[in-house]
Amino acid sequence: MKRTIRTTALTVGALMGVLGLPAGPAQAAATAPRVDLRVLLVSDGGPATDAIAAELDTAGTPFTKVDLTRSDRPAIDAGFLSDTVGGRPRARFQAVVLPNDNPFAAGSTEMAALAAYEQAYAIPQVDAYTYARPEAGLQYPAYGGSVDGVRAQVTAAGRSGPFGYLEGAVPFEDNSPSVGESYAYLAAPAPGADFTPYVEATVPGSSQQGSLVGEYRHDGRRELVVTFVYNQYQQQFRLLARGIVEWMTGGVHLGASRNYFAVHVDDVFAADDRWDTQLNCTPGDVDCADGAGTPSPIRMTPADVDHAVAWQSEHHFTLDLVYNGAGSVDQREDNDGVDQLADRLVADRNRFRWVNHTYTHAFLGCEQNTTVVPWTCRTGAGGGIEWVSRSTIDDEIATNRAWGQSAGLPLENDELVTGEHSGLKILPQQPADNPNLAPALADNGIGWLGSDNSRDPQQRQVGPATTVSRYPMNVFYNAGRTAEQVDEYNWIYTSRAQGGSGICEDNPATSTCLPAPLDTGTGYAGYIVPLETRIDLGHVLANDPKPHFIHQSNLAEDRIAYPVLDGVLDGYDALFAADTPLVNLRMKDIGTELRRRAAWKTAVDAGQVTAYRIGDTVTVQAPGGVAATATLPAGTTLGTTAFGSAYAGLVSGWTAASGTTRTFTLPSAAPAARPSGARRPATAPAPRTRTPAGVTERVPYVPDN
């Protein structure tokens, strides 16, 4: 079912009425005010306003932050909020975000200026986290306390309005029984108030519903009243963030947000070495001393390919297979020319996307000394690092590409992931890129290079290539069975006193030790899968297009990756409507998205972007060579061409990078109804609200390096 988002900005005719100006078509167009596409965010340093700021920043939506805790902050008065440009009245902000319904002292001239501004220009206000009280359109709280684990619901008004991209449920996280993570005030609308709840939860011990998010219309103003506290990482905020932004902007704003998920499967055609539960290392790999243990390879079978194909069809999702051709060549040499896995994968090659992972998965950074653990870089007589040669890197890239082409794999020849992301810097052993890497990338026309987000999170240039950071999933490359995964997990995440490695003790800033080792029979499904699902789904809901990566071993034997992938995909489908699908991009398209965002953010942060709306026309001015991004109502045109693509009831996308001025024409809309109802101006400051200690924190974790 198609859902639309209620228009929250007045049409030209209605706004002329507010300003006392004639509303005839010609005169309205000439005298319509200019409304700049920028949000005013007033912060008290709390997590709620910080969360909304992060949402705007990630989407690329310009905002001006006024920090109430700073003595040198600007005063919020009429001159700060509006002025005149070329004889036309200008509203400098299209929306106002406050930490609560009135964060100022009693009788504040700043609150009076904001109220007058909102009335004059029909500017909506978001109360990021406020106490339930009549001044906010609500009765005093029927309940004030923890809502950890509560399953809230979007109301019918919310689904037909700003939260129509959700299926209905808004589950609140409960990650720790010992930490209060969320706190809320639940209340019904005040008698006589024109208040519409958008998200509600049941008051404990009763059947009464209390509002968590709702719209209050009064005094010619509109407020989105939020009565629960949150931070930017919590799932409940991530689910509602899009609707908060679309409500305050009326679905007309710079920037865009979508939910992305891509999964790379590394080492396809090759075999991965297996974790040894007795030695606590991986024979055949560098974490075991030379000669320790006996390698035990994990490699997919044709049945695993059949399962992957069926799984993709069921979930309408495409995996990216990151392949090493030598794995198949070696298999055929050892088995009289037979490689049933390769035969099945090649037969089904068009069911997947494919990425070059080098021919033999060789390490392409420094020459490694693996006689010690951890390994070190070899050095020459003069003490300089010995590097893998340019010709070796060339051969690894080109030979694998040729093998893939001979097998008919549908390749993008400018994409590459090196084995272990090698060639790129790896701290602490290799503090710089292999100087031979960039020339070899140029030799082979590589434009997009995979990197490890846990080591190299920022997109950067390596010669002609732009990096695409990938999230390592905590499903280990050297585990084909759940018992192996749990055993290694225990080794990494328990203290020395409990039989672990103590890595978690040595790195408290990035890792948290388990209170006790996990049971090898139940720990995977009961602990690792839910935690990894939550982490990965958190990336999905954060407008983050970076891909995740696992290994072919995780699709073999116990197929341990699928419970996590199912958790992300099935969990997502249960939360979002059909018009808000997961976006599943290949690597070069992810790289392009990230590169465009970086250029746009640089321009926005430098004050080089100006955007405003006059009537049904939106004008965006940005530096030449910078693509602009916007979210606008369906039916918007850019010049004579339809703009963007549909997502969550609106359209969004990028403009061409050429030119400096882009002019959008919005579809005409019926005039919005004027606010009405009880008049309860917030003349007194909002009461102090409670923020649990845990709500300002993100649950720490360490990804698989």
**DSSP assignment of 209-229:** EEEEEEEEEETTEEEEEE-B-
Secondary element (H or E) of residue 58: helix 47-59
3-state secondary structure of 79: helix
Position 23 pLDDT exceeds 80? no
3-state secondary structure of 95: strand
Question: Between 184 and 695, whose confidence is greater?
Answer: 184
Class of residue 650 by CB neighbours under 10 A (exposed 0-12, middle 13-18, buried 19+): buried
Contacts made by residues 576-579, CB under 8 angstroms, sequence distance 24+: 576/165, 576/166, 576/167, 576/259, 577/1, 577/3, 577/164, 577/165, 577/166, 577/167, 577/648, 578/1, 579/2, 579/3, 579/165, 579/646, 579/647, 579/648, 579/649
pLDDT of residue 670: 34
Average the pLDDT over 336-340 and give the result.
Answer: 98
What span, in angstroms and rounded, lies between the C-alpha atoms of 254 and 93?
Answer: 13
Provide the CA 15 distance to its chain's centre, in angstroms. 36
For the entire predicted model, the pTM comes to 0.93
pLDDT of residue 21: 43
pLDDT of residue 676: 43
Position 28 pLDDT exceeds 80? no
What span, in angstroms and rounded, lies between the C-alpha atoms of 360 and 329?
Answer: 10
Q: Which CATH number fits domain 14-259+674-695: 3.40.50.880, 3.30.70.1070, 3.40.50.300, 3.40.630.30?
A: 3.40.50.880
Q: Range(s) for CATH 3.40.50.880 in the chain?
A: 14-259+674-695
Position 578 pLDDT exceeds 70? yes
Q: Range(s) for CATH 3.20.20.370 in the chain?
A: 263-484+538-587
Express as a percent the part of the chain with pLDDT over 70: 92
pLDDT of residue 3: 43
Model confidence at 658, pLDDT cuts 50, 70, 90, reads confident
Nearest to 45 by CA among 231, 199, 274, 304: 231
| Residue 668 burial (CB count, 10 A) | 10
Position 496 pLDDT exceeds 80? yes
Contact call for residues 666 and 10 (beta carbons, < 8 A):
no
pLDDT digits (tens, 9 = 90+) for 293-316: 999 999 999 999 999 999 999 999
Residue 369: strand pairing partners? 376
Contact call for residues 299 and 338 (beta carbons, < 8 A):
no
Q: Which residues contact 186 (CB under 8 A, 6 or more apart)?
A: 132, 141, 142, 143, 144, 201, 203, 209, 210, 211, 212, 227
CATH topology of domain 263-484+538-587: TIM Barrel (3.20.20)
DSSP 633: -
- The least confident of 14-18, 231-235, 369-373, 555-559 is 14-18
